[in-house]
């Protein structure tokens, strides 16, 4: 493995670490360790026997060609094939289903859509309920098809590490309840009965939120989609798209001629020339502990509830799986990184990022007394799409209005990307009532400057100020 890291990658990684500051520089690189540490999520470890479908070969035709086999792609295939049982749908995935962020995230299934900005009362309620319904639909889908998917839906906390922000949230919850949004504000003592987190002043609790193993969900839906006639090709990277009334989609070994396509590649979308100025593909780090029993979890203060996220710029989030792993992400400036020129492959593997994982582990131990002794069973990175205003966009573009897209969920996409498939199907069908005026439909992205200003700007903003382009999500 160490041989596969080129000199230029090492130089770049050295530069990143230099930009990350003294903490990173003090930790020696351990290229040898790369050999034993695969970049595989805890979620993927629960589908050990998964066999990707064979690659597309030759030329096929389709009414709809979906590019990308994550939540966006699979939810589009699911909704579209249900609405149009007689239309031909082909899904092309570069590697295996759930290879991207959908199989590498923190697993938190949350309400709201990031970056929607200030909204009227009516719109605030509509946005909340659109995600609420999506979580309901995810659960219904699992039950309807009897999928072997680990999930829980016993609520998540957003905790406040600052007294003033806690006061704001206390006021906000009164307003949200008035417009029909059932969040609760719990004082710190109450939060601690569920999760004994240090340094908090209270938390917003949403009992409808939860956690989902995305790899099991997405891969579990493959036979369901195939039984409806959807053709799913894996190991089929799209290399070129030629737009027209009929769109030509080329892969390494084949071609699809389609009436319409869906760009469902999120953080990878820029590689095919779309939305390059719209977002940063960001590499985010996550670890999962070895499974611990309920008694062991209680000993470190994790009594119940699916998970929490905090209110800090470099957001920390954690969930506990049904199997007993605690999954922890973020919590450190260096746990998020942007690579020069929009590169989407993290150089090396998580073992090359020991400084980031050490820093995250410290934050983990600061929140939960005693957690620092837990060892990591899995460490991984994932590519997410962060736009400047942290907004996502779902819509259609192109001269023939046949290029559908959904991207930019900014680390808050488990629910939103599952919702995107319904929105795209509705837009395709001119049945847009549910999405009328929603702030994420056909939303613009604020342009991000080209290189080298993009890379320099990102490093300056995040490394010097410790800030990310975090925006309130409601």
Ligand X SMILES: Cc1cc2nc3c(=O)[nH]c(=O)nc-3n(C[C@H](O)[C@H](O)[C@H](O)COP(=O)(O)OP(=O)(O)OC[C@H]3O[C@@H](n4cnc5c(N)ncnc54)[C@H](O)[C@@H]3O)c2cc1C
Q: Which range of residues in 66-74, 163-171, 225-233, 425-433 is near ligand X by CB under 6 A?
A: 66-74
Query: Considering beta carbons, is residue 10 or 397 the nearer one to ligand X?
Result: 397
66's tokens:
């979906």
For every residue of 37-81, DSSP letters joined together read: -----TTGGG-TT--PPPPP-EEEEEEEEEE--SHHHHHHHHHHH
Could you give the C-alpha distances from 40 to 48, 72, 378, in angstroms and in order?
Answer: 11, 21, 7
Q: Does 215 bind ligand X (CB under 6 A)?
A: no
DSSP state of 173: H
Strand partners, 285: 381
206's tokens:
């949403």
Buried-state track 172-199, b at ≥16 Cβ within 10 A, e below 16: bbeebeeeebebebbebeebbebbbbee
Q: Does 350 bind ligand X (CB under 6 A)?
A: no
Q: Which range of residues in 6-14, 142-150, 156-164, 406-414 is near ligand X by CB under 6 A?
A: 406-414
Q: Does 69 bind ligand X (CB under 6 A)?
A: yes
Residue 267 in contact with residue 384, Cβ under 8 Å? Answer: yes
The correct pick among 64, 186, 241, 414 for binding ligand X (CB under 6 A) is: 414
Q: Does 421 bind ligand X (CB under 6 A)?
A: no
Q: Does 72 bind ligand X (CB under 6 A)?
A: yes
CB-count burial class (<10 Å; 0-12, 13-18, 19+) for 226: middle
329's tokens:
């992400």
Cα radius of gyration rounded to whole Å, the chain: 21
* Interface size with ligand X, residues (CB under 6 A): 43
Q: Which range of residues in 131-139, 290-298, 357-365, 404-412 is near ligand X by CB under 6 A?
A: 404-412
Q: Does 138 bind ligand X (CB under 6 A)?
A: no
Nearest residue relative to ligand X (C-beta): 413
Output the smallest distance, CB 419 to ligand X, in A: 11
Output the smallest distance, CB 207 to ligand X, in A: 17
Output the smallest distance, CB 288 to ligand X, in A: 12
Long-range contact list for 127-131, CB < 8 A, 24+ apart? 127/438, 127/439, 127/474, 128/176, 128/181, 128/474, 130/419, 130/434, 130/438, 131/415, 131/416, 131/419
> Interface mask (CB under 6 A) for ligand X, residues 97-126, using x and -?
--xxxx-xxxxx-x----------------
Q: Does 390 bind ligand X (CB under 6 A)?
A: no
> Interface mask (CB under 6 A) for ligand X, residues 262-281, using x and -?
--xxxxx---x---------
Applying CB under 6 A, the residues found at the interface with ligand X are: 67-73, 92-95, 99-102, 104-108, 110, 237-238, 264-268, 272, 284, 286, 317, 329, 382-384, 409, 411-415, 417
């Amino acid at each position: 493995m160490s041989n596969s890291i080129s000199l230029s990658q090492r130089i770049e990684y050295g530069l990143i670490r230099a930009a990350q500051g003294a903490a990173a520089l003090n930790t020696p690189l351990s290229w040898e360790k790369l050999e034993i540490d695969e970049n595989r999520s805890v979620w993927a470890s629960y589908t050990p026997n998964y066999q990707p479908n064979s690659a597309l070969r030759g030329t096929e035709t389709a009414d709809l060609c979906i590019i990308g086999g994550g939540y966006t792609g699979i939810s589009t295939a699911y909704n579209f094939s249900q609405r149009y049982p007689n239309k031909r749908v082909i899904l092309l995935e570069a590697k295996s289903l759930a290879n991207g962020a959908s199989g590498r995230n923190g697993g938190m299934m949350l309400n709201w859509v990031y970056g929607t900005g200030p909204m009227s009362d009516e719109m605030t309620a509509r946005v909340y309920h659109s995600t609420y319904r999506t979580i309901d639909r995810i659960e219904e889908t699992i039950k309807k098809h009897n999928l072997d998917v680990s999930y829980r839906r016993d609520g998540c906390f957003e905790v406040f590490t600052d007294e003033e922000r806690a006061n704001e949230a206390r006021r906000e919850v009164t307003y949200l309840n008035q417009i029909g949004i059932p969040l609760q504000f719990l004082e710190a003592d109450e939060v601690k009965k569920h999760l004994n987190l240090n340094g908090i002043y209270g938390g917003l609790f949403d009992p409808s939120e939860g956690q989902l193993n995305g790899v099991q969900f997405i891969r579990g839906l493959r036979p369901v989609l195939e039984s409806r006639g959807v053709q799913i090709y894996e190991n089929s990277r799209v290399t070129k798209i030629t737009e027209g009334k009929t769109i030509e989609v080329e892969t390494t070994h084949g071609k699809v001629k389609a009436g319409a396509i869906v760009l469902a590649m999120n953080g990878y979308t820029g590689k095919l020339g779309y939305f390059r100025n719209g977002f940063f593909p960001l590499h985010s780090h996550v670890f999962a502990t070895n499974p611990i029993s309920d008694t062991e979890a209680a000993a470190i203060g994790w009594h119940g509830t699916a998970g929490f996220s905090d209110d800090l710029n470099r957001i920390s989030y954690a969930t506990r799986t049904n199997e007993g792993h605690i999954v922890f992400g973020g919590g450190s400036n260096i746990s998020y990184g942007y690579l020069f020129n929009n590169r989407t492959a993290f150089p090396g593997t998580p073992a090359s990022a020991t400084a980031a994982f050490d820093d995250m582990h410290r934050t983990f131990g600061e929140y939960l007394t005693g957690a620092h002794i837990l060892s990591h069973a899995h460490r991984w990175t994932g590519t997410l799409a962060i736009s400047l205003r942290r907004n996502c966009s779902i819509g259609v573009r192109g001269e023939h209005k046949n290029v559908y897209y959904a991207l930019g969920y900014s680390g808050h996409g488990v629910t939103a990307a599952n919702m995107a498939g319904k929105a795209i199907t509705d837009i395709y069908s001119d049945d847009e009532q549910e999405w009328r005026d929603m702030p994420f439909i056909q939303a613009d992205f604020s342009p991000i400057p080209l290189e080298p200003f993009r890379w320099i700007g990102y490093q300056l903003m995040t490394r010097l100020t410790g800030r990310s382009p975090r925006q309130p999500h409601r």
